[in-house]
Structure 1
Amino acid sequence: MLSANLSLTNVTAGDQYQSLLERLLFSTVTSVPCCIFLFINVTMLFTLRSKAVFRDSSRYILLFNLLLADTIQMTLSQSMYIIAVCRTRLLYPVCGLLVMLTKLTNEVSPLTLVVMSLERYVAVCHPLRHATIITSTNTALAIMVVWAISSLNVLVRVVLLLDFPFEDLDTLLMKDFCSDIAMLIGLVSDDYERAFVSFVFVSAAAVITSTYIGVMVAARSASTDKASARKARNTLLLHLVQLGLSLSSTVYNPILTAVSRSVERLVFVRLQNVFYVCIFIFPRCLSSLIYGIRDQTIRPALMFYLCCRLKVLRTSTKVSAS
């Protein structure tokens, strides 16, 4: 915990050496990819609600939930980044609200991947029972359970925060920029953070790996559709990759802590911007790119809406220029 706080202090101190031009440059380099990915994600969400085949299919309902959580997570992370770049310090309650919302959506993604993997397992290994087990009602129930587990996790974090004697502080204004590190107040919160994250990702990896093995075994059966089994196997592999990328965001702080001990402060701040884009922003848009390009049903609709919106933007730009 002490090393994490030192890392955050180095970020603050290092930022003081940056010129205004450099801060604007780095904020632009990080904000532009985020805006592009948000545009793609929002278009993908709109696409998944545009047709009945997407709204009524459990597979696409789960994908919508995954993309929604990733989009909210990306928006909150970018908002906190801009606040830090502007050197704005928040009150502890405001920062706590932003961090808790970020944690809520961050845990939804791996849990949703688990449900999506189970859905693919049932589709391949129990095709005759798929329509009975994987219904819209059961899918909605599973999504509610995912959000309930994530909400319970946030509730526990709030209870742990209440043990901190905020009344002894001279002011509720934070001394550092708002971040999840700043809200890990006390050793109990730090230990709970590590324990819960480890449990979620180990459990998710075990379930996805088990479903992958089950699909591999089923693919060797003569009664199984080989093409369907092959697609399901590739999808489960992608889920494992997505889970690994989601896990990378949990090692963001330890990486920064290790880097802060071996480089200068200004170099550290620059590296932090690179890590932010690679570890936080890029994984949040991967789902849209994977399913938007790979899925034969989604791809035409997604390209249609993307192209139409680009044409509208170009038309409006020409009109304003003239």
Structure 2
Amino acid sequence: MTNATQSQTTINDGRGILERVFFSTVSTVPCCVFLLINGTMLFTLRSKPVFRETSRYVFLFNLLFADTVLLAHSQLLYLLAASRIRMTYPVCGVLALFASLTAVISPLTLVVMSLERYVAVCYPLRHATIMTIRNTGVAIVLVWAVSSLNVLIQAILLLNFPFEDLQSLQMKNFCARENMLLGPMSDLYDKAFTGFLFFSAGVAITCSYIGVMVAARSASTNRASARKARKTLLLHLVQLGLILSSTVHNPLLMAISKVLDGIIIARIQTVLYMCIIILPRCLSALIYGIRDQNIRPILVYHLCCGLKLSVNPAKSEISA
């Protein structure tokens, strides 16, 4: 009986290892593909002076950079959790704060990108004087400053936790941002800031969309430009919704873990991770790389390692 029990335990352990290897592979392969596409997109946006000197492409570079870093960071934590590696609180705290820094950049950048489209449609004659490279740089600095201030407040709240009362600094759970909300104040602040951030971003993008719709009815407005801006703002709202959904990934997983067993949880976790974490962080490159006629030929050219295409990227010009 003892030998049979030991054999069954060994089989279960072997199946568990195979499950973890399979799920890690399923998530890592598409993640690496998207990281390659994002990296190529980032290189594309720095390959031409006109991309570096146009505000909407500078904002896009900032958005894509934050998404790429967060995607790589999320995959690292996923692989560490799949490998059953538990960290100490200080190490996980640094990683969690880094994730908070990049996570806030995306919704804030979507806001300034929406405002840029609003100015382009509603104030076309003043767009060149308002959206200068200098003002674009100031907007990006403000985005990073707000995100950094949030991280600073979280770090202060984290340092106030009485770690000396713990028996060990080794974490009992896997490293995740939610697992580092150790005190009630940290949890309350995180919920309040996240709610305020996404509510404000949603209102800003929605107001920009309404402003563009109103301007589109004016005879002096370029209808084609307004229609394109309206579609772009709708995509921004979709992106914001997907990014917001990523904030419920771990709480949803914790709730599911209370009623289901380990193997089913692992499968659900992989599906949720692919749909809620990976997908929103790769949409920027796919959306803009395919939709934008100025980026698409150059992006395809670089993805094909410089092979000759029917469209010559050198001939791609961008209107002001």
TM-score normalised by length of structure 1: 0.89
Measured after TM superposition, the shift of residue 21 of structure 1 is: 1.4
Closer/same/farther in 2, CA of residues 18 and 194 from structure 1, 3 Å limit: farther
Say which of 229, 237, 259 aligns to 2:256.
259
2:265 corresponds to 1:268: yes
Say which of 144, 147, 150 aligns to 2:144.
147
2:69 matched to which residue of 1? 72
2:43 matched to which residue of 1? 46
Say which of 290, 295, 298 aligns to 1:301.
298
Comparing 210-219 and 16-25, the one that deviates more: 16-25
Give structure 2 stretches of 5+ with no counterpart. Answer: 1-11, 309-320
Aligned residues: 297
2:162 corresponds to 1:165: yes
Q: 1:85-122, CA deviations, whole angstroms, 9 ceiling, x for partnerless residues?
A: 12112121111111111111000000000000000000
2:25 matched to which residue of 1? 28
Aligned-pair Cα RMSD in Å: 1.6
Taking every aligned residue pair, what percent have the same amino acid on both sides?
Answer: 63
Supply the distance in 2 between the matched residues of 1:176 and 1:156 (Cα, whole angstroms). 23
Give structure 1 stretches of 5+ with no counterpart. Answer: 1-14, 312-322
Measured after TM superposition, the shift of residue 162 of structure 1 is: 1.1
2:236 corresponds to 1:239: yes
| 1:18 and 1:266 in contact (8 A); partners too | no
1:11 matched to which residue of 2? none
1:229 matched to which residue of 2? 226
Say which of 151, 168, 191 aligns to 2:188.
191
| 2:301 and 2:307 in contact (8 A); partners too | no
Whichever residue aligns with residue 211 of structure 1, its letter is S
Closer/same/farther in 2, CA of residues 100 and 175 from structure 1, 3 Å limit: same
2:247 matched to which residue of 1? 250
| 1:17 and 1:266 in contact (8 A); partners too | no
2:94 corresponds to 1:97: yes
Say which of 204, 208, 219 aligns to 2:205.
208
| 1:245 and 1:283 in contact (8 A); partners too | yes
1:285 matched to which residue of 2? 282
SS at match of 1:128: coil
TM-score normalised by length of structure 2: 0.90
SS at match of 1:127: coil
Measured after TM superposition, the shift of residue 169 of structure 1 is: 2.3
Q: 1:129-172, CA deviations, whole angstroms, 9 ceiling, x for partnerless residues?
A: 00110000000000000000000001111111111111222332
Supply the distance in 2 between the matched residues of 1:269 and 1:282 (Cα, whole angstroms). 18
2:79 corresponds to 1:82: yes
Supply the distance in 2 between the matched residues of 1:216 and 1:133 (Cα, whole angstroms). 21
| 1:100 and 1:154 in contact (8 A); partners too | yes
Supply the distance in 1 between the matched residues of 2:188 and 2:262 (Cα, whole angstroms). 28
Supply the distance in 2 between the matched residues of 1:183 and 1:270 (Cα, whole angstroms). 24
Closer/same/farther in 2, CA of residues 298 and 167 from structure 1, 3 Å limit: same
Say which of 60, 63, 69 aligns to 2:60.
63
2:190 corresponds to 1:219: no
Q: Highest CA radius of gyration, 1 or 2?
A: 2
Measured after TM superposition, the shift of residue 309 of structure 1 is: 6.9
Measured after TM superposition, the shift of residue 310 of structure 1 is: 9.0
Measured after TM superposition, the shift of residue 268 of structure 1 is: 1.1
Comparing 198-207 and 188-197, the one that deviates more: 188-197
Whichever residue aligns with residue 268 of structure 1, its letter is I
